Amino acid sequence: MKLVISADHAGFPLKEEVRAYLTKAGHELVDLGAYDGDHPDDYPDFAEKVGDAIRQGVAKRGILICGSGVGVCVAANKIPGIRAGMCHDTYSAHQGVEHDDMNVIVLGARIIGPLLAYEVVDAFIAAKFIANEERFTRRYKKVLAIEAKYQCGDGSASPA
């Protein structure tokens, strides 16, 4: 599977491990930075890179990593069409895709270690949205309606 991956300085070491693991497993990864963990940077920049890449069709799914996972998750979910979920267990990783069509998995590098991160991203990658089950489709359409309600015609968010 082709994926985009990105992390801020705090998530950089785990990003490198996950990227190497998935590449070795045969997946194609587009690395959107950070490219080192030595320089403090801002997590919203990396969330936006992943969101934009998915919206532009570079890949259908992405992986975001920061220290806790919270920051990039909040930022990514501001981007129309992005459904990011923070997952530190395999159940949430596959269930988020199967029930909610999650397209970005978020990991907290200070929360999860590499071995569990590999299992979590494997579960995310293997999962498929269960589109033939009415309850999941109904709920998904409601999420899309909420997103549309708060968007301006130019794709930006409506002012609060």
Active site residues: 66, 99
**Which tokens belong to 48?**
């936006």
Name the packing angle between helices 114-126 and 90-100 (round to 10°).
20
31 — phi, psi (to 5°)?
Answer: -90, 120
Beta strands in the chain (DSSP E): 2-7, 28-31, 61-66, 84-86, 104-108
- Which residue, 110, 94, 119, is CA-closest to 43? 110
Cα distance between residue 88 and residue 145, in whole Å: 28
Residue 150, Cβ neighbours under 10 Å: how many? 12
